[in-house]
């Protein structure tokens, strides 16, 4: 009689566990991603150098909240936002930009999934604004979205409390290694002109923590968007342990 009762309890526990697993999100499985892209020129223009807007964005059918975050962050990369209130949508931005754009002007906005791992979705944002000069101005950004916490991670969310100074000291060491790898450490004028700086563009990629820089931040335009990569073992005790790949 007792054995029958214990067996029944065990079966019930297993059944409840199986049911619970059915409703628990599988963070190892990546979110479905759909791409949407379009390019439009200024209405009524038939010249070869018509102003244009090119938009390449991603959507997450299972997580529309992240769609809205991506769109809002892309709009912060537009020239409109630097001059005032950003447009309400990418479509509104396109209309406003083309309405005032001159020939040879163009705007490119892109969001792409750089990686998905351990319940994190890493979205990389890119922009390029061409006002007809020698070259346009590119912009970059990252979104580190935690599916487990249902939020965009800030640097404070990534770091163990009190470790921000250590994080940036480690980043500065990576900058010195980058100077050596490029041979720029042998150019005193370069080292003086382009010193290390902090950057808001940080990504928790699987292989390393990536810090990305805007052009002209720590190097001339010709060197593009410099990336510093810090291996996770160098950030033990600095990055929250649950954010290390494989530990979540």
CATH of the domain at 212: 3.90.640.20
Are residues 179 and 145 part of one domain?
no
**pLDDT of residue 227 exceeding 60:** yes
- Domain stops at, among 153, 176, 204: 153
Are residues 166 and 137 part of one domain?
no
**pLDDT of residue 118 exceeding 80:** yes
Are residues 202 and 121 part of one domain?
no
Helix (H, G, I), strand (E, B) or coil at 246: coil
Are residues 127 and 80 part of one domain?
yes
Look at residue 98 in the predicted model and tell me its pLDDT.
95
Pairing of the two strands 137-146 and 120-130: antiparallel
Are residues 145 and 167 part of one domain?
no
Is residue 17 one of the residues assigned to a domain?
no
Pick from 144, 142, 141: nearest CA to 214: 141
- Do the Cβ atoms of 173 and 235 come closer than 8 Å? no
When pLDDT is cut at 50, 70 and 90, the band that residue 6 belongs to is very low
Task: Read off the pLDDT of residues 48-88 as tens digits, 9 standing for 90 and up.
Answer: 899 999 999 999 999 999 999 999 999 999 865 455 677 88
Is residue 24 one of the residues assigned to a domain?
no
DSSP class of residue 101?
P
Percent of the chain with pLDDT over 90: 79
Is residue 8 one of the residues assigned to a domain?
no
Q: Which residues contact 91 (CB under 8 A, 6 or more apart)?
A: none
Are residues 134 and 52 part of one domain?
yes
Look at residue 70 in the predicted model and tell me its pLDDT.
98
**pLDDT of residue 15 exceeding 70:** no
Pick from 194, 234, 238: nearest CA to 214: 194
Q: Which of 16-20, 32-36, 126-130 has the lowest mean pLDDT?
A: 16-20
Are residues 168 and 95 part of one domain?
no
- Domain stops at, among 129, 153, 177: 153
**pLDDT of residue 229 exceeding 60:** yes
Domain count, the chain: 2
Is residue 14 one of the residues assigned to a domain?
no
101-105 mean pLDDT: 93
Are residues 130 and 164 part of one domain?
no
Q: Between residues 206 and 26, which one has the greater pLDDT?
A: 206
**pLDDT of residue 21 exceeding 80:** no
Are residues 55 and 106 part of one domain?
yes
- Domain stops at, among 135, 153, 171: 153
Look at residue 13 in the predicted model and tell me its pLDDT.
52
Are residues 80 and 186 part of one domain?
no
Helices (H) and strands (E) in the chain, counts: 7, 9
Look at residue 23 in the predicted model and tell me its pLDDT.
54
Look at residue 125 in the predicted model and tell me its pLDDT.
98
Could you tell me the residue range of the domain that residue 183 belongs to? 156-243
Task: Read off the pLDDT of residues 148-172 as tens digits, 9 standing for 90 and up.
Answer: 999 999 999 999 999 999 999 999 9
CATH of the domain at 144: 3.30.565.40
Is residue 225 one of the residues assigned to a domain?
yes
Are residues 121 and 39 part of one domain?
yes
- How far apart are alpha carbons 103 and 96 in whole angstroms? 15
């Amino acid at each position: 009689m007792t054995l029958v009762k214990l067996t029944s309890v065990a079966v019930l526990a297993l059944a409840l566990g199986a049911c619970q697993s059915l409703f628990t999100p599988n963070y190892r499985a990546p979110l479905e991603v759909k791409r949407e892209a379009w390019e439009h020129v200024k209405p009524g223009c038939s010249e070869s150098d018509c102003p244009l807007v090119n938009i390449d964005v991603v959507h997450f059918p299972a997580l529309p909240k992240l769609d809205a975050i991506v769109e809002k962050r892309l709009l912060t990369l537009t020239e409109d936002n630097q001059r005032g209130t950003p447009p309400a949508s990418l479509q509104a931005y396109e209309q406003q930009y083309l309405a005032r754009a001159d020939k040879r002007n163009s705007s490119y906005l892109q969001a792409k999934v750089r990686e998905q791992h351990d319940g994190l979705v890493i979205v990389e944002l890119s922009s390029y604004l061409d006002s007809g000069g020698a070259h346009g101005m590119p912009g970059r950004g990252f979104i580190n979205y935690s599916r487990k916490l249902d939020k965009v991670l800030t640097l404070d969310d990534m770091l163990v409390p009190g470790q921000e100074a250590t994080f940036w000291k480690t980043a500065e060491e990576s900058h010195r290694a980058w100077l050596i790898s490029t041979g720029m450490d042998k150019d005193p004028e370069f080292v003086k002109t382009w010193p290390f700086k902090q950057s808001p563009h940080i990504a928790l990629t699987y292989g390393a923590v990536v810090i990305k820089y805007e052009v002209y931040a720590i190097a001339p335009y010709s060197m593009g968007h410099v990336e510093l990569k810090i291996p996770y073992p160098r950030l033990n005790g600095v990055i929250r342990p649950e954010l290390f790949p494989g530990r979540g």
